[in-house]
Amino acid sequence: MYGAHSDNGLRGDYRHAQADFTVDQRDHVYSDADHALWRRLYARQTQLLQTCACREFRDGLARMDAADGVPDLRAVDARLEAVSGWRLVAVPGFIPDEQFFRHLAARRFPVTVWLRKPEEFDYLVEPDIFHDFFGHVPMFFDPRFADYAQRYGEQALRLLERGALSLLARLYWYTVEFGLIDSDEGLRVYGAGILSSGGETPYAIESAEPLRLRFDLSRCMRTEYRIDSFQKTYFVIRSLDALAEVMTRDLSALVDALQAQPPLAAGRLYAGDEPVPPRGRMLAA
Ligand SMILES: [Fe+2]
């Protein structure tokens, strides 16, 4: 995740960060308890993946070989770069939006160095290395997702000047963080916010409670989101090719038009929406 937070009150240690907010992961010490907690988090989430995560996520995770403890980012970095040209950079936590976009545009994914506490096993407010690494990095092994994220960063840098941060944040939120995909295995998850959460992973594809809508770029960018509970709306893409294609167009004119329109509430169905049923259920007549 990323966010336009001030440096005040953030959990990470920013004292030794470079101008681009990167740090050296080797300066951060992980205790035996940290590694044990990582293994517990990893084991719990991987149980859910076979039936809930898309194949591309599962394949990427397998390539990372990170079940045994908090990973050394440099070790995975080399494998990732060989496959998709992306690198991992260590950061203290949230970083400014513009810098975050700059990293993405340069095919660098920022990963927070610190790990949550045991009492935060199920929930924490700021993203930690488990969320950033386990949740996000597997998808960067897929070239289509990798291209989408880079193009998002490039466009976001340009569109920031047009005051489009809210629209950009919603798009990132509903794809990279909370995206669902139609696959040959049925409805599956590719979003990191879901896949790093024990509760939201089955909820997102099986619960009758939230709305699942066919992905539409304008609809998605106008829709507000929740940061304090499970999502009330999810957007379902037809394929990773289709997602990558969205970013090949210049979004300037669309963003200007959308900024003149009011946001849409999470969890509400609007005219023109195309609902997608949860897994194992039929839409009510
Ligand atoms: Fe995230």
The per-residue pLDDT for range 13-41, each reduced to its tens digit, is: 999 999 999 999 999 999 999 999 999 99
Confidence of residue 8 (pLDDT cuts 50, 70, 90): low
The pTM assigned to this predicted structure is 0.94
**Ligand 1 centroid to residue 283 C-alpha, Å:** 31
- Please, are residues 110 and 17 in contact by the beta-carbon 8 Å criterion? no
What's the gap in Å between 285 CA and the centre of ligand 1?
Answer: 36
| 144, 241 contact by CB (below 8 A) | yes
Q: Are strands 108-112 and 186-189 parallel, antiparallel or unpaired?
A: unpaired
Number of H helices and number of E strands within the chain?
12, 6
Q: Report CA(251)–ligand 1 centroid distance (Å).
A: 23
Residue keyed to tokens 């740090």: 23
Residue 7 has pLDDT above 60, yes or no: no
Element (H, E) at 217: helix 217-222
Instruction: State the distance from the centre of ligand 1 to the C-alpha of 255, rounded, in angstroms.
Output: 23
User: pLDDT at position 86, please?
Assistant: 98
In angstroms, what is the C-alpha Rg of the chain?
18
Tell me how far the alpha carbon of residue 104 lies from the centroid of ligand 1, in angstroms. 13
Q: How far apart are alpha carbons 165 and 110 in whole angstroms?
A: 19
